[in-house]
Structure 1
Amino acid sequence: MTTGTTTVDAAALPLRTRIGQVNQRLKGWEAVRWVDGAPRVTDVLRREVDRWGGLGALYGVLRADPWSAVRWADGIPPERSAEAYAAVQEHVTRYGDGLPVLFVEEVPHGLQALGGTTLPVNLALGAGMDVDLAHDLAALVAAEVRARGTHVALVSGLDVLRDPRWGRAEECFSEDPALAALLVEATVRGMQGTTSGADAIDAAHVAVVAKHLAGQGAGVGGRNGSGAPIGRRELGEIHLRPAHAAARVGVAGYMAAYNDVDGVPCSANRDLLTGTIRERWGWDGLVMADGTAIDRLRDSAPDPASAAALALEAGVDLSLWDEAYTHVEEALDRGLVAEAVLDRAVDRVLALKRRIGLLGPDSPAAPATGSAGLPGGLDVRPQAPATSPTSEAGRERIALLARAARQSVVLLHDEGVLPLRADATVAVVGPNADDLDAQLGDYTPPRPDPDSEASTVLSALRDRLGADRVRHAPGSRLRGPLDDPAALDAVRDACAAADVTVVVLGGTSRRGYDDEFADNGAVEGPAPDTTNGEGVDLASVALPEAQIAVARAARAAGRPVVGVVLDGRPRVLTALTPLVDALLVVPFPGPRGGEAVAEALLTGTAPGRLPATFPSADGVMPVAHDERRETARGYVDAKEVRGWVLGTAHAPGVTATLREDTVSVTAAALADGATATLTVDVRNDGPRTVTLPVPLWGQRRERGIRPRRRGLLGVQHATVAPGGSVALTYPLGLDALGSWADGSPVAVPVTVAAWCTPDPDAPAGTAAVRVTDQEGTTPWER
């Protein structure tokens, strides 16, 4: 067999090769190591190739982090990544059955490899609500990832944040499915360079496996991987909408989630993985299991062969670190699964290899053959370092990353203390004031040392104001007090010697090389000060008392206090709010986050909006802005469950006014691509130029269906000078006005109330968007 044919399919392959193609058992850092300045394949890889004649895919050759135990001292140098891949590919194709292997890496917010660009986390991009930015960031990362030799990027974004207690909240774009869908679609387009599943993925882009499908953000109690006890309508309206958006622009694959939906594990859910995404949506790509997820089916199956059969029948084409798929031959012999089902999975793996250019020189996606003459055109010559910051491309990259960090910053309120005076002496206190790890998020590689691209809030303010005008004291750890009994006295002294205090609190997804990890990489312990990330679900999302004590000490000094919360999840801020005169919330903004926060402090403006609702207290979940309207009064001891609602931003002097009273479109026209257009006039009577996303909210009114309080109909961006105004148009199509009850948009007659004010419920005097039947009416009006 040769790799120079595009006609290879499962029927032409021996059984052991077919089983090998659906297996992705190895961890790449164990298959190839960097020894004495060169890549060396290991016996782990040799044994796997001898056993199966090859590999379908190999995960994590470049991964660097505490779980892989890969550091700068012993990892693959960024500029020589292709050499490591080439060593694997050469061994697999020479000693196996000739089929090249897909190289798969984690890219949840940048490549998790030495030297990989680290972006703000998804929740931070949700604060920006900027589709164009999401696309451009994705394209930037894709070019970097593919240049290093990676074929497939595992990209977070399908999860919808429905419970702040979940440690992986930072991987979600928002609690609102419409916002998540907009940003997922832009990310896939940017990374793959595609607009449909028929498009090849060229040598400047990378295939995306979007994760996780589906409902993982609705786990019971916010516990990672726990069941999602939701009905079909909730699944469709909330959790499938981002996945549908990805399918529409040709996403290469999905990762099936750990959780079950109403008792059926996603990795064994044929209605989800075959009936919904393939038969109803018409999508034709690859489904990958999450790490060890098929082995976890042992609670739903009597043995590994049965677990493998369940997953194959459901539509899982490629495993990840599982043993179950090594029992596929046994499953075939026992009649648990048909050989045609295995062949279907193998053909999907081969189809992705063709789409990415690995199979066949005639593929439009195939790059030029590299110096080693290996499939996929791997060029193993040492690569140039990352784009020079002094080049035009380097300056564009820096500007894009800085823009993303700025849009992560949300100003919630200000009682007149911002902007900070240019001649002010500032105390910068709190555990996150000078902690770069607290800005980065989970799935982050170790930063280089020195790190010229990074800034903390403390370092950025020192750069702006001068070190002699900035005082500092950490005051506490994130979870508890410092060992130093005088830590809070140091805070009081620093604040008393300053004109204003900036107290920087929040959380971190820090992983340490001494921490312990589960078999899927989730942190298990000790991680004494880690508060976020996979495996770090919290029963309480209130800021810990030790952090509140720092804010109290700052307030006691009698100076104005600005609170900054750097975190990857919504927090209860009820105890903090009365202690500060201004408050900023910043979802993990990435390495440039310190400079972004400093700019907001010194200009008094911030371009972000809350991407999720912050609860008013522990124990009041759920609190999402689009929960259904309730008939109950709430809790006796917590009358208002929501603290700060999604979309909140403090922009004094900025008003938004909806022009139209009523617009109409027929359901038939909507289904054919017609839109109903609303216009919002945005005026700025404040003293400074403001750049801000302007959301348009809506509430569906369907007979017999309890309405959600509101949902996002659309979002546009406005930059308005003092005394100026701009008009924004919102063309509302099928996505905005259709019913998502079954996970895809359907045009049905309906009345939708629309408004652009911050109200969490429909205010008086909303506009009406009417989707009518052929008689020109809606069920709500009869």
Structure 2
Amino acid sequence: MSDPRTRAATLPLATRIGQVNQRLKGWEAVRWVDGAPRVTDVLRREVDRWGGLGALYGVLRADPWSAVRWDNGIPPERSAEAYAAVQDHVNTHGDGIPVLFVEEAPHGLMALGGTTLPVNLALGAGMDADLTEELAAAVAAEARARGTHVALVSGLDVLRDPRWGRAEECFSEDPALAALLVEATVRGMQGTASPADPIDGAHVAVVAKHLAGQGAGIGGRNGSGAPVGRRELGEIHLRPAYAAARAGVAGFMAAYNDVDGVPCSANEELLTGTLREQWGWDGVVMADGTAIDRLRDSSPDPAFAAALALRAGVDLSLWDEAFTHLEAAIERGLVDEAVLDRAADRVLALKRRLGLFGDQVPGVPVERDVVALVERAARRSVVLVDDGGVLPLRPGQTLAVVGPNADDLDAQLGDYTPPRPAPDPVASTVRSALAARFGADRVRHAPGSRLRGPLDDPAALDAVRAAADGADVCVVVLGGTSRRTYDDEFADNGAVDGPALDTTNGEGVDLSSVALPQAQLDVVRAARAGGTPVVGVVLDGRPRALTELRTLVDALLVVPFPGPTGGEAIAAALCDGTASGRLPATFPAADGVMPVAHDERMETARGYVDTDVLRRLPLGTAHLPGVSLRLGGEAVSVAASALASGGAVHLAVEVTNEGQAEVSLPVPVYGRRHEPGVRPRRRQLLAVRRATVAPGATTQVAFELGLDELGSWATGAPEAAPVTLSVWCTPEPDPPAHALPVRVTDQNGATPWER
């Protein structure tokens, strides 16, 4: 017989309301006291009020916002004991329904001892779905072995404005690349192939965030409205979510922003109409932190706000007070009790899927060389833009390694990162990695400036000049950081809410300008003042305007925050020629050139009269010496009806490596889609595959372009329709002369252009 506790209708009203509430911050509910976990009065009161807990967020969370450090946090090896203390208290003093333990995993488990991965934007540069899946599986196994059930995972946001501070949490500006890597992440973390599959003891349930359109906020401001139409929403912002739903993702997080004025956490068309009715998905929708309380600006009181969210399709709150008013909302007729039952049933179904009823599924330790995976991902995130004939660096050279990010580990890690252990056995900065290769006596260092603002000390540039004087090459490491300190002030949701002295990236750190600050460019000018060749390295979590910098350096590398092993990854690129990433987003020609994404629609306007917009660096940019790509074949066709039934067009890209070493690289296929009555996008990424090519060899990389690649995404799900496409694989923003025509035909074997 099934456990009666798994059916909401059998439970008291208070218990059902308790199951859809996730109000507590876990580090305040469980304290580590005298070497053991202790539940607090905060937790006791909550259990007494509701007869249990639906979910508990952040028992293990460690970062400046939670104020959890190595000296006061739960030791990694004792995590399961902390969770057990909560479950034991609920079983003894509550309804006995197990608690879901929820933790953040934006790029690794955000807990003491959690493995920190390169940020999503770095994985986007690597364009490697298989590696992304392996990394996700490693994080999931680590989290589940410690007792975690649910991971909150970034990746749905599509980067449409580089001013947005959370750019680093996006895989790309391109929805196809974001969808590819989101789907890989869900597969890796959940270990399932469909929504019905149980999640075993080596995996965790994923709540993917954020739904939807948060990357299209007005002016790049976090949480601002997304003024996009239904087609733009479907083609750009819903495609990654559809991929996650198709992979059986356990949950979605409704975003803070509104879409055309309707807040996502109150958007029934999105959370019920699209997710459940159109896509047939039936997991848990969780609100972002305090997002339901924020509905007070569009509702008269908390009960009304709660009813808005519940009716729309939100099943689980996060830190909200409003959802505690659901009983009043039901009594006032604002929402039917059956709607509450539906939400509670979904929460209970997730607990069943995780095996929490009956004999609970224990975490299963998995042997995996996680450090090697992280190192590989960091190396694949490095993008070579120009080599200028000064790379690779040669043994015996004397180097000046300067700039504000040259020797700053925090600047490599990204936002929402737990404290690193000290000493850190795997970490490296650019300075330390080059010193290990060349010898400390051959690596001179001077930071030169801060990341933002004017120079603190004019003599700092003199130190840069002195370091560069007599050096064979000067490596200047610039960019940004998502560093947060325990002295920062934070908003309720963990975003910086006060002065972040030198922070340039992260939630709540949106910029009006994406130009590199003049203080950093002054460091470059000082470095090259004596004629020393200069290699620029931009280590950042957002696209930057690099046009001026490119005139000041001989070679240039771009590296989205690569994680703790990033220093060695950059050193390998400089010395061994291992840079193999591609830009995952377009870097604008100048500050203020917005929008900038490579797949913006074609315009009749000429652009800006004061800026050459063609000096931008579009998505996919990479300098790969000795490597050439050619798309072979002739015009191909597929019927729309066949495409809808699983048919596909098969193409191949010929990759030739004329170099002396093996290369690994992402091989892209771009297309321009011509649909009657719809203005084309300049180009779209249709597909990308990672390939390895031996020296002096040529490899055929096969592509199967099916409904996802050739169909219309106007509604947020792929649909077949007769169209024509121009397809190519080289960097041009427009179809080159050798572009391959691809036709999706109607029942008469024609396209609209042939009627």
Q: TM > 0.5 between the two?
A: yes
- Letter aligned with residue 134 of structure 1: T
Q: Is the 8 A contact 2:202 2:363 kept in 1?
A: no
Q: Which range moves more in the overlay, 638-647 or 203-212?
A: 638-647
- Letter aligned with residue 512 of structure 1: T
Partners of 1:683 and 1:22 in 2: CA distance: 56
Q: Is the 8 A contact 1:354 1:360 kept in 2?
A: no
Partner residue of 1:516 out of 478, 482, 489: 489
**Residue in 2 aligned with 1:58?**
56
Assess, with a 3 A threshold, how the Cα gap between structure 1 residues 114 and 4 changes in structure 2: closer, same or farther: farther
**Residue in 2 aligned with 1:181?**
179
Q: Can you list the C-alpha shifts for 1:247-300, whole angstroms capped at 9, x where unaligned? A: 001000000000000110000000000000100000010000000000000111
Partner residue of 1:288 out of 265, 286, 289: 286
Q: Is the 8 A contact 2:5 2:97 kept in 1?
A: no
Partners of 2:691 and 2:279 in 1: CA distance: 35
Q: Is the 8 A contact 2:121 2:560 kept in 1?
A: yes
Partner residue of 2:554 out of 571, 581, 586: 581
Q: Can you list the C-alpha shifts for 1:652-692, whole angstroms capped at 9, x where unaligned? A: 22111111121111111111111101111111223443221
CA apart distance, 1:642: 5.5
Is 1:654 matched up with 2:627? yes
- Letter aligned with residue 648 of structure 2: T
Partner residue of 2:255 out of 254, 257, 264: 257
SS in 2 for 1:523: coil
**Residue in 1 aligned with 2:608?**
635
Partners of 1:735 and 1:221 in 2: CA distance: 30
Is 1:271 matched up with 2:269? yes
SS in 1 for 2:616: strand
Partners of 1:339 and 1:412 in 2: CA distance: 58
**Residue in 2 aligned with 1:747?**
720
**Residue in 2 aligned with 1:332?**
330
TM-score (norm 1): 0.95
**Residue in 2 aligned with 1:623?**
596
Partners of 1:328 and 1:676 in 2: CA distance: 52
Q: Is the 8 A contact 1:684 1:722 kept in 2?
A: yes
Q: Is the 8 A contact 2:505 2:541 kept in 1?
A: yes
Assess, with a 3 A threshold, how the Cα gap between structure 1 residues 130 and 633 changes in structure 2: closer, same or farther: same
CA apart distance, 1:643: 1.4
**Residue in 1 aligned with 2:188?**
190
Q: Is the 8 A contact 2:5 2:11 kept in 1?
A: no
Q: Can you list the C-alpha shifts for 1:423-456, whole angstroms capped at 9, x where unaligned? A: 1100000000000000000010000001001000
CA apart distance, 1:765: 2.8
- Letter aligned with residue 122 of structure 2: A
SS in 1 for 2:735: coil
Is 1:432 matched up with 2:405? yes
Q: Can you list the C-alpha shifts for 1:284-328, whole angstroms capped at 9, x where unaligned? A: 100000000000001111110000000000000000000000100
**Residue in 1 aligned with 2:530?**
557
Aligned length: 755
Q: Is the 8 A contact 1:178 1:713 kept in 2?
A: yes
**Residue in 1 aligned with 2:344?**
346
SS in 2 for 1:556: coil
**Residue in 2 aligned with 1:310?**
308
Assess, with a 3 A threshold, how the Cα gap between structure 1 residues 531 and 641 changes in structure 2: closer, same or farther: farther
**Residue in 2 aligned with 1:672?**
645
**Residue in 1 aligned with 2:480?**
507
**Residue in 2 aligned with 1:695?**
668
Partner residue of 2:37 out of 28, 36, 39: 39
Partner residue of 2:120 out of 122, 125, 129: 122
TM-score (norm 2): 0.99
Q: Is the 8 A contact 1:409 1:597 kept in 2?
A: yes
**Residue in 1 aligned with 2:91?**
93
Assess, with a 3 A threshold, how the Cα gap between structure 1 residues 642 and 346 changes in structure 2: closer, same or farther: farther
**Residue in 2 aligned with 1:525?**
498
**Residue in 2 aligned with 1:72?**
70
Partners of 2:103 and 2:614 in 1: CA distance: 40
Q: Is the 8 A contact 2:213 2:237 kept in 1?
A: yes
Q: Can you list the C-alpha shifts for 1:383-424, whole angstroms capped at 9, x where unaligned? A: x9xx9xxxxx46x32221111000110000111000001111
Gaps of 5+ in 1: 368-376, 388-392
**Residue in 2 aligned with 1:370?**
none
Q: Which range moves more in the overlay, 310-319 or 655-664?
A: 655-664
**Residue in 1 aligned with 2:749?**
776
Q: Can you list the C-alpha shifts for 1:610-633, whole angstroms capped at 9, x where unaligned? A: 000001111111100000001100
Task: Give runs of aligned pairs for residues 113-152 of structure 1, distance below 5 A.
Answer: 113-152=111-150
SS in 2 for 1:752: strand
Is 1:591 matched up with 2:589? no
SS in 1 for 2:497: strand
Q: CA RMSD in A?
A: 1.3
- Letter aligned with residue 331 of structure 1: A
SS in 1 for 2:630: strand
SS in 2 for 1:61: coil
**Residue in 1 aligned with 2:12?**
14
- Letter aligned with residue 107 of structure 2: H
Q: Is the 8 A contact 2:590 2:613 kept in 1?
A: no
Q: Is the 8 A contact 1:701 1:780 kept in 2?
A: no
Task: Give runs of aligned pairs for residues 136-535 of structure 1, distance below 5 A.
Answer: 136-361=134-359, 366-367=360-361, 377=362, 393=367, 396-535=369-508
Partners of 1:6 and 1:642 in 2: CA distance: 64
SS in 1 for 2:743: strand
CA apart distance, 1:514: 0.2
SS in 2 for 1:488: helix
- Letter aligned with residue 632 of structure 2: R
Q: Is the 8 A contact 1:194 1:250 kept in 2?
A: yes
Q: Is the 8 A contact 1:219 1:226 kept in 2?
A: yes
Assess, with a 3 A threshold, how the Cα gap between structure 1 residues 42 and 114 changes in structure 2: closer, same or farther: same
CA apart distance, 1:484: 2.9
CA apart distance, 1:607: 0.9
Assess, with a 3 A threshold, how the Cα gap between structure 1 residues 545 and 745 changes in structure 2: closer, same or farther: same
Partners of 1:525 and 1:688 in 2: CA distance: 49
Q: Is the 8 A contact 1:503 1:564 kept in 2?
A: yes
Partners of 2:106 and 2:428 in 1: CA distance: 21
**Residue in 2 aligned with 1:730?**
703
SS in 1 for 2:226: coil
Q: Can you list the C-alpha shifts for 1:344-381, whole angstroms capped at 9, x where unaligned? A: 000000000000111233xxxx42xxxxxxxxx579xx
**Residue in 2 aligned with 1:609?**
582
Partners of 1:202 and 1:491 in 2: CA distance: 54
Q: Is the 8 A contact 1:89 1:100 kept in 2?
A: yes
Partners of 2:456 and 2:677 in 1: CA distance: 59
- Letter aligned with residue 250 of structure 2: A
Partners of 1:536 and 1:557 in 2: CA distance: 36
Partners of 2:711 and 2:92 in 1: CA distance: 53
Gaps of 5+ in 2: none
Q: Is the 8 A contact 1:255 1:289 kept in 2?
A: yes
Partners of 1:136 and 1:167 in 2: CA distance: 27
Partners of 2:523 and 2:307 in 1: CA distance: 55
Partners of 1:770 and 1:432 in 2: CA distance: 49
- Letter aligned with residue 400 of structure 2: A
CA apart distance, 1:770: 1.0
- Letter aligned with residue 304 of structure 2: S
Partners of 2:131 and 2:19 in 1: CA distance: 36
Q: Is the 8 A contact 2:384 2:579 kept in 1?
A: yes
SS in 1 for 2:16: helix
Q: Is the 8 A contact 2:6 2:349 kept in 1?
A: no
